[in-house]
Structure 1
Amino acid sequence: MAAVLLIGSVMKFAIALFSAAHAPSSRRALLFAQAALAGGHEIVRLFFYQDGVYNACASVVAPQDEQDLPQQWRAFVSDNRLDGVVCIAAALRRGVLNEEEALRYQRAAASVEAPWALSGLGQLHDAIQDADRLICFGGA
């Protein structure tokens, strides 16, 4: 896959992830994003939707013999200064909250922190408009 990304002109990608952190498509999405940047391409925005919001959840703990995808996503977004957006409606439905939403809904703990931002589907729409391609991973 990485070889394909290296050929041709620079592309601007919007990446949407719909699957939970333990799903194979979440790992594939991360590998694709890493290969895109390594190939000199741009990632306009990462948008986590449906069960994909769990990839931004700081309270997910991976078993010792498995990769910690939420931590890897967090490091990737931070290290590359990417725009990582978590759909607020999908996150609220799943109890994935930042500090502001935890206070608003009087919940005990926040599980989303920097570099992630909670926002609406409009952010995905804007990313699609700015990108050359929308690449989706996971979902039904």
Structure 2
Amino acid sequence: MNIQLNLYQAPWHHVSHRDALAYARASFARGDRIERVFFFMDAVYVGLITQSPASDEIDLRQAWLDFAAESGCELLLCIAASANRGLLNDTEAQRYQSSVSTVTEPFQLVGLGQWALGYGEADKVVSFR
């Protein structure tokens, strides 16, 4: 089964990221393919490279990076939500004349077309709010 995950909450604000990771890992372990994880609204903060979680907290950014490396899924950040929150890759930093890039690969800044694509390509779309 081909699955797209959609997340909407900030990583430090809600358990949705932990739930989504657990779901993704369990699905992958049983042979499903997590095609992409789309982060929208405040969920885009998971891609921020300057995060520094406390030592007793889960580093959700690193957890998503590890899962993507293991599973081959895409980690997609909504470009509009990201720009509104100061999350810029090199291309967007130049576009906005910013000297700071705050997002690196494998996180990708993409439009809502990528989000909508999942509804046509995936066998299942699971949202975590």
Scaled by the length of structure 2, the TM-score of the pair is: 0.94
SS in 1 for 2:108: strand
SS in 2 for 1:85: strand
Identical-pair percentage: 38
Q: CA RMSD in A?
A: 1.1
Report runs of 4+ in structure 1 exceeding 6 Å deviation: none
Partner of 2:104: 113
Scaled by the length of structure 1, the TM-score of the pair is: 0.87
Computing the radius of gyration from Cα coordinates, the structure with the larger value is: 1
Partner of 2:47: 56
1:16 to 6, 11, 14: 6
Contact 1:58 1:71 (8 Å CA) reproduced: no
SS in 1 for 2:22: helix
Question: For residue 81 of structure 2, what is the amino acid of its counterpart?
Answer: A
Contact 1:56 1:73 (8 Å CA) reproduced: no
Partner of 1:72: 63
* Long gaps (5+) in structure 1: 1-10
Deviation at 1:69, TM superposition (A): 0.4
Task: Work out whether 1:30 is the aligned partner of 2:25.
Answer: no
* Long gaps (5+) in structure 2: none
SS in 1 for 2:18: helix
Task: Work out whether 1:95 is the aligned partner of 2:79.
Answer: no
Contact 2:34 2:71 (8 Å CA) reproduced: no
How many residues align structurally? 128
Which one is further off, 70-79 or 86-95? 70-79
How far, CA to CA, are the matches of 2:107 and 2:65 in structure 1? 8
Task: Work out whether 1:45 is the aligned partner of 2:19.
Answer: no
Partner of 2:126: 135
